[in-house]
Amino acid sequence: MKLIILGNGFDLHHNYETSFNHFRTHLKNSIIAEDQNLLSKIDDLIKDDKSKQKYNLLWNDFESIIGEIMNTENYKSNTPSLIEEFTEKFYKYLLSISKIKTPQINSRLALEFENTDTVLSFNYTSFYSNYIKNSNINVFHIHGTLSSNNLPIIGYYYLGTSRDLESVDYSKRYGGKLIHKSALSYKQNEIDLDSRIREYIQLWKNKISEIVIVGYSFGSSDSHIYHILNKIMIKQRNSDFVPKSLSKSVKAVKFTIYSFNKDNSIQLIEKIKENLSKVGRRYSVKITGGIKSKEKNILTFELKEY
């Protein structure tokens, strides 16, 4: 079965202004005092000693900064309310740009959607719906969706050192309110993010053999993605060594990555391999029984252009 993972690059490819820089520019150009005040707070939040250009930040950079602040005991007391204000403004911004136009269909991506079984989207938008012709395709908006009339999840997902998603407590109290540690927002559906993830895993556990990645960079703020993938990918082997007689029974999982930059994609492949290995997933096994053992890749990777 096939999974498509969508990140912000998918929306950007279709010329929708959904990046952190686009939203920051929107605030900067606004004549509304509240927007200017929010921009000042956000710029103050993301200041660092390395003088990283704040207008070049990716969403993952911004969320990582939030995570670093909220993972300390010295976080600013107004950070949760600031993030809620940010998400409210961003939600309204996304609603406004989503009404602008229908994206031009990419024929290569259209072919990918034709035979997919499930879509896991880290985006809040539903521009992908222009590609879906089969109503049976399962779609999981892991960080929320505009159509649900709830704030999108902006924040950092803390998995800690546990390999078991069910053993982690994602709720914490800030200012007397129970909120989701990663979402930093007061919406009940976001507090239940971990339960929604468990439901998705249960639905697709050990079923996925093909994964297509479009515009998603596997950022550090989404560390839970490796645990999700490891759970839903087909079972392979628990040993590094496989007898030759059983070699054909070891199935491969194929990753296809759509990319604008080949060098970045090669680095992304190494990142995926490294982090999947940390959760117990092998990307090769050795076939024994001959004169010399042979290595067989059980995670394969292919780069494609949009």
Q: What would the pLDDT profile of 215-259 be if each residue is shown by its tens digit?
A: 998 877 677 789 899 999 998 877 778 877 777 778 889 999 997
Least confident residue range of 21-35, 37-51, 113-127, 198-212: 37-51
Q: Is 230 exposed, middle or buried (0-12, 13-18, 19+ CB in 10 A)?
A: middle
Backbone angles phi, psi at 9, to 5 degrees: -60, -25
Looking at residue 296, what is its pLDDT? 83
Whether 111 shows a pLDDT value over 90: the answer reads yes
Averaged pLDDT for residues 269-290: 86
Amino acid at 6: L
Looking at residue 165, what is its pLDDT? 44
Looking at residue 158, what is its pLDDT? 45
Angle at 135 between CA 129 and CA 139, to 5 degrees: 60
Q: Half-sphere exposure (CA, 13 Å, Cβ side) for 72?
A: 10
pLDDT category of residue 154 using cuts at 50, 70 and 90 = low
Looking at residue 231, what is its pLDDT? 94
Residue found by looking up tokens 């076939």 in the block: 287
Measured between alpha carbons, how far is 165 from 170 in angstroms, rounded to an integer? Answer: 10
Kindly state the percentage of the chain with pLDDT values over 70: 73
Neighbours of 235 (CB within 10 A): 10
